[in-house]
Structure 1
């Protein structure tokens, strides 16, 4: 049944119940003229008049009374079925499409995405990672994950944790052989893993200390555009790599890699989940946003009160 036919049936019942085109129009959110035209169209399609109309009153014709008696139970069944479907929105289900930088996706994959799927197994998540910045609305995504400074101003943003930082790392063996750089310009004498951005440009390593910013165009034996490959190269002793700290945190903790120039890599913008405002979000959408808020609050608390952990 099309929405148009359903609207026509609801209109007939509203007029029959109210006994007035004007009162029915107010109930349905239509103008009296629009409602009158709607009923006139239905009567022409049926080939009979459903209502006797005068300037003072409205009443059902015999055909209209028969029509209402037969349609009312069926329409109630349809409305009950629609209400039952809407009630299922109390249980998150369906698909959520999310766009994110690969590094951002790796950081939130276990604590947010996988944790969400464990909690809401009826939801399917379609996660797309790419380096370019996309218009999530135009490209059909429900949500995006980016650093706070890259979230469009017309979007609603949910911080996912404390500020992040970059990390320069190398193997202990490499540093023992080549020495540790004492300042960013010293990197020009080292082998470095070069990084290519999604737009094809080579990334110049960014440093900052005491309000002084430096950009270093490093040199090295290999150029890569994927962080996991760069990590493999660094772990193999090829040279020094430049990463988001979260990508090499476990390697640092295990002693496989050592940080250098840490005082030149201050915190950067935190990650944010972002989305456009919407009137009727699905239960799955609401649940994911709420879980993201929980994650952000927990991460902020850990940063403020590390002794509690």
Structure 2
């Protein structure tokens, strides 16, 4: 029976022309390497090397056999790698909840890439801005704005420095002008989001440690952040959106920001999961993937 270790010693000795070099590469004693070659020669019934005290060269039989040995080792390594990839592949179904606007316009494309990288994984996506109860609903993780109040949940940061921005379309600003102060917001049509009976009509701004909260009004309300963004792009009013939600619109000129000397409220993006599920291979891989994508997305915007 030909041993894998003996073939390895043989190929390394042939490549290096030196038994001691092969032994050093394998971290074994020269005597062990020499014994491996003798064992292989005995198994094959031929001499593989012509040896002297100063040189080591392949015999004609050894020169013919070394290519077969290399191919055999390559096939064995390929088989080992295939088994390891299969063992490390993500399986099963991953159920995630993602927000309406960022989910539809950014995350779904990224998730397509993630699925190509992990073809054995099935994905169940729930999209919407309503918060899910992760202990009562079969959801493994949720991409959400803000840090959860529940201490039994784990929040892995994806975009910790994200904030909201005040924005509208160029057409809206052409008709109504850009507000020059927070007080001027009272005279603008503000597009509002309502979730779980809570109206998001108090917009918070910060400058030099001074925090101001403005209660806004307008003629359009929705429980869907994507619809609020579309209204803003269509010139229907001012929106107070996560910068990530409108980043593509700002780059393309479909939206413009206003009151840039004031910082909007913080809107960190996190991948939220329960303690029980926080360290599963699928969630860990998804977390790392989304963190990398989010960093690149924000960095591209800053470069522009």
TM over 0.5: yes
Partner of 1:19: none
How do residues 1-309 of structure 1 correspond to structure 2 at under 5 angstroms?
90-103=88-101, 105-106=103-104, 109-110=107-108, 112-150=110-148, 152-266=150-264, 268-278=266-276, 285-296=280-291, 299-300=294-295
CA contact (8 A) 1:180 1:260 kept: yes
CA contact (8 A) 2:129 2:225 kept: no
Deviations 1:139-195, CA, capped at 9 Å, x for gaps:
122222223422632233322134212121122232223221112221101122232
Counterpart-to-counterpart distance in 2, 1:305 and 1:252: 13
* Alpha-carbon distance, 1:199 to partner: 2.2
Q: 1:105 to 1:235 in 2, by over 3 A?
A: closer
Q: Return 5+ residue gaps in structure 2 as ranges.
A: 1-84
What secondary structure, in the 3-state scheme, does the structure 2 residue paired with 1:150 have? coil
Q: 1:137 to 1:196 in 2, by over 3 A?
A: closer
CA contact (8 A) 2:190 2:218 kept: yes
Deviations 1:265-292, CA, capped at 9 Å, x for gaps:
34624222132334897xxx41342242
CA contact (8 A) 1:112 1:291 kept: no
Deviations 1:36-64, CA, capped at 9 Å, x for gaps:
xxxxxxxxxxxxxxxxxxxxxxxxxxxxx
Q: Return 5+ residue gaps in structure 1 as ranges.
A: 1-86
Partner of 1:75: none
Counterpart-to-counterpart distance in 2, 1:125 and 1:176: 44
Deviations 1:203-257, CA, capped at 9 Å, x for gaps:
3222222222222222223222222222232222222122112222222212222
Q: 1:217 to 1:267 in 2, by over 3 A?
A: closer
Counterpart-to-counterpart distance in 2, 1:302 and 1:258: 19
Q: 1:273 to 1:151 in 2, by over 3 A?
A: farther
Counterpart-to-counterpart distance in 2, 1:307 and 1:189: 32
* Alpha-carbon distance, 1:127 to partner: 1.4
CA contact (8 A) 1:207 1:264 kept: yes
Partner of 1:4: none
CA contact (8 A) 2:169 2:256 kept: yes
Counterpart-to-counterpart distance in 2, 1:103 and 1:156: 23
* Alpha-carbon distance, 1:200 to partner: 4.5
TM-score computed with the length of structure 1 as normaliser: 0.60
Counterpart-to-counterpart distance in 2, 1:301 and 1:211: 30
Partner of 1:56: none
CA contact (8 A) 1:104 1:146 kept: no
Counterpart-to-counterpart distance in 2, 1:130 and 1:305: 26
Q: 1:208 to 1:118 in 2, by over 3 A?
A: same
- Number of residue pairs the alignment of both structures matches: 220
CA contact (8 A) 1:164 1:270 kept: yes
CA contact (8 A) 1:204 1:218 kept: yes
